[in-house]
Structure 1
Amino acid sequence: MDRWVATLAFDALTKAYGDVQALRGMTFDVRAGEIFGFVGSNGAGKSTTMRIAVGVLAADSGTVTWDGRPVDHAVRRRIGYMPEERGLYPRMKVGEQLVYLARLHGLDPAAARASMEHWTEVLGVAGRRDDEVLKLSLGNQQRVQLAAALVHHPEILVLDEPFSGLDPVAVDVMSTVLREQAAGGVPVIFSSHQLELVERLSDRVGIVRAGSMVAVGGIDELRSTGDRRWVVDGPPAADWLPAVPTARLSDGVDAGRVVVEAVTGAPADVDQQLLRAALAAGPVREFAVVRPTLTELYRHVVTAETPEQAGARA
């Protein structure tokens, strides 16, 4: 990473609620101009981390910095925050509310109204500006909540479950907005349980478990594991596989389609040996590296035993 690129950095955050340790040294960063997907089970610490970043909660220890400086009140005014629980005034009209929130962040009346009109148009709720929030569908309330996070032209976006309750068209609209914000240099951190969406949208992903960041990186980086596996769609019954003693069947045969894996100590060119053996037995329609999806990685990470569990079992 270029050391001159501004980052929103979370360093060794801890937070306890009584006897419950919500955060245990939470450490990661979100770079300017990138979309960071923040995933983990319910109660893993995602919302607590985000709330500390925007000042809703105070950490017991650790720091949050932006561009190397502590995130103070002045910085927080430049953050666009979307809480998981909707934070809008239910009996206030959509347009009036967005103008009010923009004014709280320092925009003058004309700029606040222009921004409200822009974002309600972009997010497809321009026709509901004169409606009270409580009269909107849950999906439209979610659109207005995002507009509230964007209306003051934030330098940082912190979004907790922004895609919850949205139909596919609204998901596409919101995804486009987040990409445009990142393209303009805004660091975007969002949490979601929709892992296929996270995989498609994020530049980097962090997987959190039991209050700690346990895996972080680009999608390709996270999917590159130490296991070497290949899918081969070719001759039926995999009669060719015994010709390569350093590989074995990993998944069953299905009309010639198999998954094979290298055994411990297999040479670096075992993939070429497999391809040659399959081609010698007949036509090969597909030969490709098998990498786990984000969903598979997530399942592995969140179900792995923690050090505390291992210690208790020992």
Structure 2
Amino acid sequence: MNKRTNLFAILLAAASVAAASSALARDSIEVVGSSTVYPFSTVVAERYGRSSGKPTPKIESTGSGGGMKLFCSGVGTNYPDITNSSRRMKASEFKKCQTNGVKDVIEVHIGYDGIVIANSIKVAPMKLTRKDIFLALAAKVPGAVDGELIENPYKTWKDVNPALPATAIEVMGPPPTSGTRDAFAELGLEGGCKKIDWINALKKTDKHAFKEVCHTIREDGVYIEAGENDNLIVQKLEANPAALGVFGFSFLDQNADKVQGSLIESVEPTFESIADKSYPISRPLYFYVKKAHVGVVPGIQGYLNEFTSEKAWGEEGYLAEKGMIPLPIKERRAMAENTRGLVPMTGKEGLK
């Protein structure tokens, strides 16, 4: 009798756990992450929702860093299924995922985007170099002799480069949690930092010091963190034509009636210049998927199939119309095959 009672208790407990899991299950996909990838994932979600008859995936813009933090916090329907990112996952984030049980992560490289430094169409476009960008925005800049660093003294663009206008340096851009901020620091500031020979040499002798100098943005009010809302930056640029704003090319493309991109090293940010990589500040875009959630949260496989279809991310696809720069055809085909086959990362993909 006791054995039967124990068996009944075990079965009852198992049924309770199953019922609780069922109650916690979601019927819609949850996506977090990059504000740059947000508009692309939103249009895919809307198309997928309409064509499949399933609930439209919920997309939230948290920034790449914020999205990674949420994504890597655990497995289960209390955590997001997918995170968008305007930079590649960091080795430290991959490790955090593994530590928290997020073992099988699928990396999807979806295309490219350029980072633009824009201003109002009411004034002339700026013509900058990456060295100008570094000298204008770095916390510390070279002093009078090699090896000397001083607090950034520059107030106007003309202070940085005599060929530039004598307008005050005022740049609105994303916060540290943003993948756009990470990419801007790596491609824009560091790109200019390398133009200074003694700092470039530091990369071989002291990588930490090199990154500290090249990636640290000044905090004296010249660079203004505008959150993850690129619309707010555009509004402020319209109101203040002397200011500049940092955001993705796709957003510039959608607001070409209000703002224009600065030329960087004499190259204008365009679909073509980013695709052929002649524009100096361009970056890859990604999203990451939990394999453990596929088949548990309905629709994930269908969403992946929609995103990696030629009608979506192809050269003539609807994402290209939104400003995303497609991958070359061979890369797209290989990425689509890996994504649809749910092939997880190994951690040896060259994460930094």
TM class by smaller structure: under 0.3
Point out which structure has higher relative CO (alpha carbons under 8 A, 6+ apart): 2
| Higher-helix-fraction structure | 2
Q: Normalization by structure 1: what TM-score?
A: 0.26
